[in-house]
Amino acid sequence: MAESFNATLLPHAKAARYAALAEEIASVLEGEANLTARLATVAAMLAQAFEHFFWSGFYLVDPARPDELVVGPYQGALGCLRIAFGRGVCGAAAAERRTLIVPDVEAFPGHIACDARSKSEIVLPVTDRNGVLLGVLDVDAETLAAFDEVDAEGLTRILRETFGGWPAGAGNGTSPQ
Ligand code: SME
């Protein structure tokens, strides 16, 4: 695993770190089509790559309750188990299907405080090859304004490359295309 970086990274260094990380993740997941394995690996590799990532992981659409997200693979302190669509940052990102960068969670209406140490966060929608919403990626930090457009671009690329081909097409082995 490559070295870890903190929140003081300059934008170009952070972009380079994301680019390298995207390749590392693709390499580790090559040939692995299991969704849980892919989600868990992304959560773990994000947590290891950026030391200011206090919480990194997924809230997934619950097939049994399609208006609700249920916690998926993550790294960090205990997370809330369920979040209704439209509630908090994760629920809003899922309902609106757009990336939300929140520099101060206290200022976000309806923010869900799973852990009081989280001060800022970025949440991105995760969609599959058919454009179906799988859930959201949530990354939290203990400092204010820890995330910016460089994080959004880097994480978007990782999500697109990791889940944009899922589920794998029939008859093409195990690797999502
Ligand atoms: N902060 C999120 C809740 C999830 S946790 O922080 C892990 C939100 O408001 O959606």
Cβ density class 97-112: b for 16+ within 10 Å, e for less: eebbbbbebeebeebb
Average pLDDT over residues 52-61: 96
Measured from the Cα of 92, ligand 1's closest atom is: 10
Does residue 177 form part of some domain? no
Query: What separation in Å is there between the alpha carbon of 80 and the centre of ligand 1?
Result: 7
4 located within any domain: no
Q: What is the CATH number of the domain that holds 43?
A: 3.30.450.40
User: Is the predicted pLDDT of residue 114 greater than 90, yes or no?
Assistant: no
The rounded Å distance from CA 20 to ligand 1 centre is: 27
87 within ligand 1 shell (Cβ under 6 A): no
| Residue 123 CA, ligand 1 centroid: distance in Å | 9
Mean pLDDT of the 94-99 span: 97
Give the type of residue at 92.
A
The protein residue with its alpha carbon nearest to ligand 1, atom 6, reads 114
The pLDDT of 84-99, averaged and rounded, is 96
Tens-place pLDDT, residues 2-55: 555 666 778 899 999 999 999 999 999 999 999 999 999 999 999 999 999 999
How far is residue 72's CA from residue 64's CA, in Å, rounded to a whole number?
A: 15
- 33: in domain: yes
Residue 6: inside a domain, yes or no? Answer: no
Question: CA dist 82 to 125, 132, 155, 156, Å?
Answer: 16, 20, 23, 23
Q: Which two tokens stand for residue 163?
A: 């889940």
Q: How far is the CA of 28 from the centre of ligand 1 (A)?
A: 28
What is the per-residue pLDDT for 158? 98
Residue 31 resides in a domain: yes
Residue of 60 and 115 predicted with greater confidence: 60
Q: Model-level pTM?
A: 0.91
The answer to whether the beta carbons of residues 21 and 45 sit under 8 Å apart is yes
Q: Is 73 in the pocket of ligand 1 (CB under 6 A)?
A: no
Phi and psi based region of residue 28 (left: phi greater than 0; alpha: psi -120 to 50; beta: remaining): alpha
pLDDT at 41: 98
Give yes or no for residue 80 CB within 6 A of ligand 1: yes
The per-residue pLDDT for 170 is: 35
CA distances from 66 to 88, 115, 151, 171 (A): 17, 25, 28, 29
Domain that holds residue 42: 11-163
The mean of the pLDDT values for the chain is 91
pLDDT digits over 125-173, tens only? 999 999 999 999 999 999 999 999 999 999 999 999 999 988 875 333 3
**With 50 as the cut, is the pLDDT of residue 68 above it?**
yes
Give domain status of residue 174, yes or no.
no
The 3-state DSSP class for residue 13 equals helix
Within-domain flag for 5:
no
User: In total, how many domains does the chain have?
Assistant: 1
Is 175 a residue whose pLDDT tops 80? no
- Cβ density class 22-48: b for 16+ within 10 Å, e for less: bebbeeebeeebebeebbbbbbbbbbb
State residue 163 phi and psi, 5-degree precision.
Answer: -120, -10
Q: How far is C-alpha 78 from the geometric centre of its chain's CA atoms?
A: 16
At residue 3, the pLDDT reads: 52
Three-class SS state of 173: coil
